[in-house]
């Protein structure tokens, strides 16, 4: 199983803690140490599972909007996007549990025209105000269909580290990685009002694969 590059620090710390706790348990509890070691092994395995990088065949897309993350669609509504679009847009929000793959991917192809990091709170990721009050990043892409699409990584109550690798002027390719969020969070995508939404609330998405909307050329 391939592990993401963001796993190095977390796995190193987890390995040291596991070794220390296991050694102390064996020394003080002897055979009863298994009551501690077995649950620790499960947690240790979940850390590796969280940072997995699945093999996915990403296709070329022009009009399609691709799910940027694995997760569950929790919101589809018309909103005011005040940071970049500064007007009405359709917001599609996808919630990621700690068990989902947490690679963040471009939802559309085009060119990166805006990026910004915002420090903030750590409200639970499904809270509606988390989109504007939590720690977050905002990226905007001018798509191949000449639309401006905004998407936002949002830290949740557990997620305490967001990374994004893109820069203004970069070429964006739908389904390809641009960042990572650690341990559960949310992605918001803001689309033009005339976009055809093909997902619905409750849908489970597979990042880089599933089509969630289609934009008019």
Q: Kindly provide the b/e burial profile for residues 73-98, where b requires at least 16 CB atoms within 10 angstroms of the residue's own CB.
A: bbbbeebebebbbeeebbbbbbbbeb
Q: CB under 8 Å to 66, separation ≥6 — which residues? A: 105, 106, 107, 108, 174, 175, 207, 208, 209, 210, 211, 212
Q: What angle do CA 157, 150, 210 make, to 5 degrees?
A: 80
For residue 93, indicate whether it is catalytic.
no
| Catalytic annotation, residues | 185
């Amino acid at each position: 199983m391939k592990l993401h590059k963001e796993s190095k620090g977390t796995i190193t710390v987890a390995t040291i803690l596991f070794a220390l706790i296991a050694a102390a348990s064996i020394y003080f509890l002897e055979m009863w140490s298994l009551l501690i070691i077995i649950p620790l092994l499960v947690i240790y395995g979940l850390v590796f599972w969280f940072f997995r990088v699945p093999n996915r065949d990403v296709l070329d897309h022009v009009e399609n909007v691709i799910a940027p993350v694995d997760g569950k669609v929790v919101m589809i509504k018309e909103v005011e996007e005040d940071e970049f679009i500064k007007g009405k847009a359709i917001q599609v929000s996808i919630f990621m549990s700690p068990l989902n793959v947490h690679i963040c991917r471009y939802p559309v192809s085009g060119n990166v025209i805006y990026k910004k990091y915002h420090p903030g709170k750590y409200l639970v990721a499904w809270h509606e105000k988390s989109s504007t009050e939590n720690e977050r990043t905002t990226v905007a892409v001018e798509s191949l269909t000449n639309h401006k699409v905004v998407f936002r990584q949002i830290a949740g109550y557990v997620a305490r580290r967001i990374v994004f690798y893109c820069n203004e002027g970069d070429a964006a390719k739908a389904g390809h990685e641009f960042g990572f969020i650690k341990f559960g969070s949310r992605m918001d995508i803001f689309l033009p009002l005339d976009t055809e939404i093909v997902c619905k609330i409750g849908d489970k998405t597979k990042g880089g694969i599933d089509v969630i909307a289609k934009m008019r050329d």
